[in-house]
Amino acid sequence: MNAWTKFWNWYENKILGSVIIIAIIQFIQIPHMVWNADLMLEAGYVSRVHPLIDWLLYGVDLIEIVSIINVGMIMFSLIKKRRAKYPIETVKKD
């Protein structure tokens, strides 16, 4: 078994953990959405209160990269499992 196959076998056993990570990242997006709406409306309740808070809430966008990669890996894993379960029959041409 090569390293690629070992990695995917390990990852497929950890999919629940991956989904939990994605859920946490999505929940972190809620304060970011409120902050962003406040910034766009220029209300000043959350945004521009302190530069550190603005930096942290702006930086949440970078966390989405992990979520995007994780979702892609889950989709690839599920497609790979489905192809193994239902192999595509090849048609021989005479």
DSSP-derived secondary structure letter, 93: P
Q: pLDDT for 24-73, tens place per residue?
A: 888 888 888 888 888 888 888 888 888 898 888 888 878 888 888 888 88
Q: What pTM, to 2 d.p., does this model score?
A: 0.58
Residue whose tokens read 């629940």: 16
pLDDT at 89 (0 to 100): 67
Within 13 Å of residue 67, how many CA atoms lie on the same side as its CB? 15
Q: Are 23 and 11 in contact (CB under 8 A)?
A: no
Asked if 60 and 32 touch (Cβ cutoff 8 Å), the reply is yes
